[in-house]
Amino acid sequence: MAAGLGELLERSDSGSVVGLDFDATVAWPVYDWMGVAKAALESVSRYLARDLGPRGVRSNLVSAGPLSTTAARGISGFDALSSAWETGAPLGWDPSDAGPVADACLFLLSPLARGITGEILHVDGGYHAMGAPLRLGGAGRGEDAVGGG
């Protein structure tokens, strides 16, 4: 796609390619071969950044938290995977609201992101940055898993 649209992207004030990703730095339960495909996508995006950058075209990915999409319905066990964000995303996460992901894509496509390429922007409520669930044993929002708050 980038090669076919390269000339058009070059003429744009903010030529940019943005793809959707699901963090491929770890092995996810139930994600199986799609995790491997996403790892390849991450690599392709870096090579596009290298090859298109000199032409003024950026390439970035948005690593989204789980969203209830047609594609997600094809993943057996998606609901169980998605439920981890309930206890693990410090900002919270609503899989039925694609708005935060769309906003991040719009930012990366805009001139506001003119100095960003080869990047993977996580839009997952902060889940990717946590080492363990925030709330264990029924602790409420704002109380961490260690020390109670």
Q: Which CATH number covers residue 70?
A: 3.40.50.720
Catalytic residue among 18, 19, 21, 38: 38
Cα distance between residue 123 and residue 104, in whole Å: 7
pLDDT at 146: 47
Active site residue 121: no
Cα distance between residue 147 and residue 144, in whole Å: 7
Q: Is residue 18 part of a domain?
A: yes
Q: Is residue 141 part of a domain?
A: no
Q: Is residue 40 part of a domain?
A: yes
pLDDT at 142: 52
Q: Is residue 90 part of a domain?
A: yes
Active site residue 31: yes
How many domains is the chain built from? 1
Q: Is residue 82 part of a domain?
A: yes
The residue segments making up the domain with residue 101 are 13-127
Helix axes of 2-11 and 33-52: crossing angle, nearest 10 degrees: 40
Q: Which of 109, 75, 74, 81 has the alpha carbon at shortest distance from 95?
A: 81
pTM of the model: 0.84
Per-residue pLDDT of the chain (149 residues; tens, 9 = 90+): 777 877 778 877 778 999 999 988 888 888 888 889 999 999 999 999 999 999 999 999 999 999 998 888 888 888 888 898 888 999 999 999 999 999 999 999 999 999 999 999 999 999 999 988 876 655 445 555 444 44
pLDDT at 26: 87
Q: Is residue 41 part of a domain?
A: yes
Q: Is residue 65 part of a domain?
A: yes
pLDDT at 3: 75
Q: Is residue 147 part of a domain?
A: no
Whether 59 and 75 have beta carbons less than 8 Å apart is answered as: no
pLDDT at 149: 47
Radius of gyration of the chain (CA): 17
Catalytic residue among 9, 16, 31, 66: 31
Q: What H or E segment, with its residue span, contains residue 123?
A: strand 120-123
